[in-house]
Amino acid sequence: MTYSIKIKEEDFILHPSGALFWKQKAMLLLADVHLGKVTHFRKHGAAVPAHVAYENLEKLTEVVNHFQPETVCFLGDLFHSTINSEWQDFVKWVAYTPSKVVLISGNHDIIPKYLFEDINVEVLEEQIIDGFYLTHHPTEHKTLFNFCGHIHPGVKMKGIGRQIMKLACFFKTKNQLIFPAFGSFTGNYILEPTKDDEVFVIAEGEVVCVS
């Protein structure tokens, strides 16, 4: 189940995949997919099931098919490191999707820019669209609202039996929204919200506001 919010008079849908859909722009935004990470770790001896490598692109395909965006914008760390076998899967995915694909470069995005451009993926350091500032690292701005990733935000939630759950979340402050990591093979960095923050956790296929 999705959750709808309004920011600066624009309408957005938070999706349990960790993606956000900007209705007025028909734009899908997501952060920290970390394609290639599973293959990278398996190459170095980590016991990670091979099928996990395909889960991210499968999830991405599902959310793109759901929203049918004009543009898909990755807010950095699309790939975890250098090119490996998962690159060819991504090339096929780009050819399959009818959407324009944009990458806001992140610290893990070390694959040469020209290789992305060769498959019609636009690579930018940052982007400003109608009062919104799109970056990878959280970046405060005096007048623009920042969409970003990098942190892989999560929060601790207490259950009825006093159990502690750590859940990925969209973390919203006055002028910023930090996206959860889209990638399935990533951890969370636990944040402590203040009374002024808004937290939208992802739990059992739903986005739930817990502020």
pLDDT at 184 over 90: no
State pLDDT tens for residues 68-86: 999 999 999 998 666 777 8
The residue that leads in pLDDT, 160 or 152, is 152
Cα 91 from Cα 153, distance rounded (Å): 28
Q: Which two tokens stand for residue 128?
A: 């400003």
The residue that leads in pLDDT, 23 or 183, is 23
Mean pLDDT of 12-26: 98
State pLDDT tens for residues 130-157: 999 999 999 999 999 999 999 999 999 8
pTM of the model: 0.91
Residue 191 belongs to domain with CATH number: 3.60.21
Q: Would strands 164-173 and 153-158 be described as parallel, antiparallel, or unpaired?
A: antiparallel
Q: What per-residue confidence (pLDDT) applies to 53?
A: 58
Q: What per-residue confidence (pLDDT) applies to 40?
A: 44
Q: Chain-wide mean pLDDT for the chain? A: 89
Mean pLDDT of 165-184: 94
Cα 205 from Cα 144, distance rounded (Å): 31
Q: Which two tokens stand for residue 56?
A: 């991210």
pLDDT at 171 over 70: yes
Look up the domain containing 40 and give its range: 3-209
Helix (H, G, I), strand (E, B) or coil at 202: strand
pLDDT at 33 over 70: yes
Which one-letter amino acid corresponds to residue 175? N
The residue that leads in pLDDT, 163 or 173, is 173
Q: What per-residue confidence (pLDDT) applies to 161?
A: 63
Buried b (16+ CB within 10 A) or exposed e, 84-103: bebbeebeebeeebebebbb
Q: Which of 10, 14, 12 is nearest to 199 (CA)?
A: 14
pLDDT at 42 over 50: no
What percent of the chain stands above pLDDT 70? 87
Mean pLDDT of 153-167: 82
pLDDT at 198 over 90: yes
State pLDDT tens for residues 107-120: 888 899 999 999 99
Total of domains in the chain: 1
The residue that leads in pLDDT, 84 or 40, is 84
